[in-house]
């Protein structure tokens, strides 16, 4: 939301395969609502849908288009868990294991329920593979396996050997993997827009192309744009890496860049070779790589890197060698799309849910687990507005780590951080 000029969707595969583009009006004149949500990505849309279903009059103000940011550009990987989970659990003491475990998967269940209830067409598929590059990754997967067994996870899960991994995804780049059929993948932009349409159908109001310029605090906060305003009993800030309106939220979140290539549709023999079970795949590194097949059988291959621009040619040069290292068989395959986006990463990896005043809440910083955790966050934000604070307080009581100079020198600090994590990943 720090953009001063409204923008259209980036040139991604997702934007090219929209079911229904949104054309909501810009905010004009003085409006009023029970709740004003700033940001129409997953967090904002999820919050709006939960609240509208409960009968609240909700207005959502978006600087660009619904799903314009990371929510509509990401890898589409529906990964369980909450980043910074160990920090979260250690700060909460005993007897909360079950609550934290349930929250790990709550976003998945919300997505599945939304897709079923509202008939959202978003290519939702089951199946995910955590792949190991080093032995320490396998050791971590074994701990995950123990937890899945301990809590009687209802979906198929098992460890795969190096040979089984190679048979499953057509590459010997990994030494093993953890298969989890409770995770999965999705067309994120169609999901986000589908949920916005669902929220609209139960009474929510959306405004696009309406960057927020200021928030007037008070008993009834006012959200101000160039041509209009919304006065509300509550405001929810849901801009994540793109939202720096409030000084108190600056310097507690790093914008980290991630990029994706989309190949042309693969012939059936290549599909059967690289991913016959149609799984999402991701490695555990911080400077990670992830890939999956789209509904029309393109390989979507993504990764984090230091580059912070949007030039498709530069993105290709950065990512293509990494893709071909895993799948040299794709050397002659055409790349049809290349795009990037920004995710919000916190120092301690714990998502930041809190409030700036009694009636202004915020949620941000999902550190790569956004598809899942944003949907949980939307439910928690709706609960908080309604006065139920149990899960909200679990996060709000963990104070964000502020980095001096992070807002002013964000790009330089991210580049330094990426270099640090690249070294750490190699160990």
pLDDT at position 62 is: 97
Answer whether 0.75 is exceeded by the pTM.
Answer: yes
Q: Is the pLDDT of residue 211 over 60?
A: yes
Average pLDDT score over residue span 354-361: 96
Q: Which residue has the higher pLDDT, 4 or 232?
A: 232
**Residue 370, CB half-sphere, CA atoms under 13 Å: how many?**
33
Mean pLDDT calculated for residue range 57-69: 97
At 399 the pLDDT is 84
- State yes or no: pLDDT of 419 exceeds 90: no
- Examine the pLDDT at 2 and tell me if it is beyond 50: no
Q: Residues 6 or more apart from 183 whose CB is under 8 A from it? A: 77, 78, 79, 80, 108, 126, 127, 128, 280
Q: Is the pLDDT of residue 66 over 60?
A: yes
Confidence at 422, pLDDT banded by 50, 70, 90? low
Determine the Cα–Cα distance for residues 61 and 38; give it in Å rounded to an integer: 5
Higher pLDDT, 242 or 120: 120
The confidence score (pLDDT) of residue 255 equals 77
With 90 as the cut, is the pLDDT of residue 100 above it? no
* pLDDT for position 82: 84
Surface-to-core class of residue 57, CB atoms within 10 Å of its CB (0-12 exposed, 13-18 middle, 19+ buried): middle
pLDDT of residue 107: 96
Average pLDDT over residues 247-255: 79
Q: Confidence class of residue 3 from pLDDT cuts 50, 70 and 90?
A: very low
- In the chain, the percentage of residues whose pLDDT exceeds 90 is 72
Tokens representing 247 are 């000084």
Write the pLDDT tens digit of every residue in 107-144.
Answer: 999 999 999 999 999 999 999 999 999 999 999 999 99
Mean pLDDT across the chain = 90
Model pLDDT, residue 282: 96
Q: What is the end-to-end Cα distance of the chain in Å, rounded?
A: 37
Mean pLDDT computed over 13-28: 97
Return the pLDDT at 415: 55
Is 60 exceeded by the pLDDT of residue 407?
A: no
- The mean per-residue pLDDT over the stretch 84-101 comes to 72
Please choose, from the candidates 10, 61, 67, 64, the residue with its C-alpha nearest in 3D space to the C-alpha of residue 370. 67
Q: What is the DSSP string of 57-103?
A: -EEEE-SSSTT-SGGGTS--EE--S-TTHHHHHHHH-SS-HHHHHHH
pLDDT in tens, 305-317: 655 566 788 888 8
213 three-class SS: strand
β-bridge partners, 343: 256
- Residue 274 clears pLDDT 60, i.e. is over it: yes
């Amino acid at each position: 939301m720090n953009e001063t000029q409204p923008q259209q969707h980036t040139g991604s595969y997702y934007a090219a395969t929209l079911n229904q583009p949104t054309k909501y009006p810009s905010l004009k004149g003085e409006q009023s609502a029970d709740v004003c949500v700033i940001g129409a990505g997953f967090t904002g849309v999820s919050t709006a849908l939960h609240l509208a279903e409960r009968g609240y009059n909700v207005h959502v103000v978006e600087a660009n288009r619904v799903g314009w940011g990371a929510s509509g550009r990401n890898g589409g990987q529906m990964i369980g868990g909450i980043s910074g989970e160990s920090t979260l659990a250690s700060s909460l003491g005993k007897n909360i294991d079950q609550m934290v475990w349930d929250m790990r998967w709550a976003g998945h269940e919300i997505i599945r329920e939304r897709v079923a209830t509202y008939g959202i067409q978003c290519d939702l598929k089951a199946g995910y593979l955590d792949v190991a590059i080093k032995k320490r990754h396998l050791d971590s997967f074994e701990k995950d396996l123990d937890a899945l067994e301990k809590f009687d996870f209802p979906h198929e899960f098992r460890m795969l050997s190096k040979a089984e991994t190679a048979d499953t995804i057509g590459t010997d780049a990994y030494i093993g993997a953890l298969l989890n059929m409770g995770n999965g993948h999705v067309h994120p932009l169609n999901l986000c827009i589908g949920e916005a349409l669902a929220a609209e159908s139960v009474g929510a109001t959306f405004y696009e192309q309406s960057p927020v310029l200021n928030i007037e605090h008070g008993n009834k906060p006012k959200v101000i744009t160039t041509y209009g305003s919304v006065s509300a009993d509550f405001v929810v800030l849901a801009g994540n890496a793109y939202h720096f309106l409030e000084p108190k939220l600056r310097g507690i979140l790093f914008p980290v860049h991630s990029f994706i290539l989309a190949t042309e549709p693969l012939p059936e023999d290549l599909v059967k070779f690289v991913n016959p079970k149609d799984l999402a795949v991701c490695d555990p590194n911080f400077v990670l790589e992830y890939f999956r097949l789209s509904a029309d059988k393109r390989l979507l291959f993504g990764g984090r890197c230091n580059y912070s621009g949007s030039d498709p040619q530069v993105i290709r040069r950065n990512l293509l060698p990494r893709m071909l290292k895993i799948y040299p068989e794709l050397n002659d395959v055409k790349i049809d799309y290349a795009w990037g986006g920004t995710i919000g990463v916190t120092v301690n990896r714990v998502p930041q849910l809190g409030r700036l005043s009694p009636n202004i809440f915020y949620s941000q910083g999902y550190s790569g687990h956004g598809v899942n955790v944003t949907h949980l966050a939307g439910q928690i934000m709706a609960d908080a507005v309604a006065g139920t604070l149990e899960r909200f307080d679990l996060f709000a009581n963990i104070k964000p780590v502020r980095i001096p100079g992070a807002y002013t020198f964000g790009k330089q600090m991210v580049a330094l951080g990426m270099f640090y994590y690249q070294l750490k990943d190699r160990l």
